[in-house]
């Protein structure tokens, strides 16, 4: 009988184990791992970036067609003959603020083998291009920690350029770059900030979702809970629907579809670069349709009346990229989370001495 029971338990274990394997829904070729985390900073995370292919080398594309139906060509707007493709995005912040982290992602849906995809040219405000080589390859995406380059440069604010991304041209091509910046700003609320990168193709069932789990924070015990979720992905199309980004705080029973003025709940991945519900125009080229490069920072505050989306004292949340109908294939490679947390209680100890050096501090 004991043997039967052991066999039964082993069978149950194997069943649960196999079930856990098939519930890894998306076709994740590079598992998502945490790239950056700070458990407390007065500051914020932002993402700047751009596509580097379009329907013209020097004119923004503002139509609503998919990249699949456009003869995609290199964008090249830096007036520099030594680069074959180039695009820029602007970062603006107070000069008093301090960069604590900067991470650059670049990549393409397809690229000729003849070019070195791991190396690109990177230009920070007031400087010339420098060659940088990826720290890691994340399937079609390349990543380099550029904190040293960005944090030591002055000014911090200005145009950031990336050039010579290895990519194919022609229909269905898509390529671009995203620069994640975490900065200290004493005027900002205290936040927990975390980023994950990997590579996951969300497409038809059964590869129709990927989850990002955030923990290691506690939201304030009272008052409104504010924060932002960021995402970057290849191959989101404006003209194909069904793709969503969902959010669920641990204390809530259900997922809620995120949306804002530029990103629909049922067409979240739409070839747009947006921040807080608006197109980011400080880019060159500044196409409203990037033809396959999605990059968004979505403000949770508007979706959180009465803390209905994420509440006080919350310690975990899950972000889900999904497509239940399989209309649009999404290649997600970056997810970011910033949430306000309890302000630390500052204990200020003042010591005062008289002119003879005697302590006259009163406690
Ligand atoms: Ca050029
Ligand atoms: Ca497409
Ligand atoms: Ca879409
Ligand atoms: Ca697509």
Average pLDDT, the chain: 91
SS3 content of the chain, % helix, strand, coil (to 5): 10, 40, 50
CA of 100 to the centre of ligand 3 (A): 33
Say what the pLDDT of residue 115 is: 80
Percent of the chain with pLDDT over 70: 88
Ion ligand 1 — residues with CB < 5 Å:
76, 78, 80, 83, 86
Taking CA 79 as the corner, what is the angle to CA 75 and CA 84, rounded to the nearest 5 degrees?
45
Tokens of 265: 């709940």
Residue with tokens 């598992």: 31
Distance 125 CA to ligand 1 centre (A): 17
Ligand in closest contact with the CA of 171: 2
pLDDT over 70 at 250, yes or no: yes
Tens of pLDDT along 177-215? Answer: 999 999 999 999 999 999 999 999 998 777 889 999 999
**Among 52-61, 72-81, 323-332, 350-359, which is the least confidently predicted range?**
350-359
Ligand 3 midpoint to CA 66 (Å):
9
What ligand is nearest to the CA atom of residue 174?
A: 2
pLDDT bucket at 7, cuts 50 / 70 / 90 = low
Instruction: Pick the ligand that lies closest to the CA of residue 121.
Output: 1
Q: By CB neighbour count within 10 A (0-12 exposed, 13-18 middle, 19+ buried), where does 297 fall?
A: buried
Per-residue model confidence (pLDDT) at position 358? 64
CA of residue 67 to ligand 1 center, whole Å? 22
**Least trusted range by pLDDT, from 81-90, 238-247, 339-348, 353-362:** 353-362
Q: What is the pLDDT of residue 357?
A: 60
What number is the average pLDDT over the span 222-228?
96
Band of residue 2 on the pLDDT scale cut at 50, 70, 90 = very low
Measured in Å, residue 270 CA sits from the centre of ligand 3 at 4
Q: What is the pLDDT of residue 1?
A: 43
Q: Give ion ligand 2 contacts, CB < 5 A.
A: 66-68, 237
Nearest ligand for residue 330 CA = 4
- The answer to whether 283 and 50 have CB atoms below 8 angstroms apart is yes
Residue 13, pLDDT > 80, answer no
- Residue 306 alpha carbon to ligand 4 centre in Å: 35
Please, what is the end-to-end C-alpha distance for the chain in angstroms? 73
pLDDT (0 to 100) of residue 353 = 61
Whether 37 shows a pLDDT value over 90: the answer reads yes
Percent of the chain exceeding pLDDT 90 equals: 82
Q: Residue 363: pLDDT above 50?
A: no
What does the pLDDT read at residue 354?
A: 64
Q: Please give the distance, rounded to the nearest whole angstrom, from the Cα atom of residue 2 to the centre of ligand 4.
A: 54
Average pLDDT over residues 314-336: 93
Tokens 């972000």 — which residue?
Answer: 319
Q: How far is the CA of 79 from the centre of ligand 4 (A)?
A: 31
CA of 273 to the centre of ligand 4 (A): 15
Of residues 362 and 25, more confidently modeled? 25
Average pLDDT, integer, range 69-83: 98
* Of the listed ranges 20-34, 83-97, 119-133, 209-223, the one predicted with least confidence: 20-34
Q: Which ligand is nearest to the CA of 263?
A: 3
User: Cis (ω within 30 of 0) for the bond into 255?
Assistant: no
The pLDDT of 252-273, averaged and rounded, is 97
Distance 263 CA to ligand 3 centre (A): 9
Predicted local distance difference test score (pLDDT) of residue 347: 57
Compute the Cα dihedral for 299, 304, 305, 306 and give only its sign: negative
Give me the pLDDT at residue 350, please.
57
The predicted model gives 258-266 an average pLDDT of 97
pLDDT at 344 over 80: no
Average pLDDT over residues 284-310: 97
Distances (CA, A) of 5 to 145, 195, 240: 53, 44, 52
CATH level 3 topology of 26-340: Jelly Rolls (2.60.120)
Ligand showing the shortest atom-to-Cα distance for residue 66: 2
Return the ligand number nearest the Cα of 267: 3
């Amino acid at each position: 009988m004991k043997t039967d029971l052991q066999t039964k338990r082993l069978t149950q274990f194997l069943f649960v184990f196999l079930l856990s394997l098939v519930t890894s829904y998306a076709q994740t070729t590079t598992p998502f791992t945490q790239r950056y985390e700070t458990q407390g900073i007065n500051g914020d995370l932002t993402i700047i970036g751009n596509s580097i292919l379009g329907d013209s080398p020097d004119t923004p594309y503002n139509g609503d067609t998919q990249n699949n139906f456009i003869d995609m060509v290199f964008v090249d707007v830096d007036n520099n003959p030594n680069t074959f493709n180039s695009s820029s995005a602007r970062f603006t912040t107070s000069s008093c603020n301090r960069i604590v982290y900067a991470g650059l992602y670049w990549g393409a849906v397809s690229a000729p083998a003849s070019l070195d995809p791991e190396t690109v040219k990177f230009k920070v405000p007031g400087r010339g291009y420098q060659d940088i080589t990826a720290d890691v390859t994340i399937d079609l995406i390349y990543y380099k920690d550029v904190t040293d380059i960005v944090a030591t440069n002055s000014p911090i604010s200005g145009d950031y350029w990336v050039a010579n991304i290895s990519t194919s041209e022609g229909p269905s091509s898509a390529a671009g770059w995203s620069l994640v910046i975490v900065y200290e700003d004493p005027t900002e609320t205290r936040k927990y900030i975390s980023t994950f990168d990997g590579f996951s193709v969300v497409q038809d069932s059964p590869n129709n979702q990927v989850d990002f789990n955030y923990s290691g924070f506690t939201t304030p015990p009272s008052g409104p809970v504010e924060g932002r979720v960021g995402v970057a992905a290849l191959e989101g199309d404006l003209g194909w629907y069904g793709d969503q980004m969902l959010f669920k705080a641990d204390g809530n029973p259900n997922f809620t579809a995120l949306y804002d003025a530029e990103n629909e709940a049922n067409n979240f991945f739409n070839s747009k670069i947006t921040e807080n519900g608006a197109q980011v125009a400080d880019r060159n080229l500044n196409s409203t349709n990037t033809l396959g490069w999605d990059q968004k920072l979505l403000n949770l505050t508007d979706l959180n009346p009465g803390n209905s989306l994420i509440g006080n004292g919350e310690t975990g949340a899950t972000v889900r990229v999904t497509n239940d109908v399989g209309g649009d294939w999404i290649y997600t490679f970056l997810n970011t989370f910033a949430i306000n947390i309890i302000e630390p209680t500052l204990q200020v100890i003042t010591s005062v001495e008289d002119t003879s050096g005697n302590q006259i501090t009163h406690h």
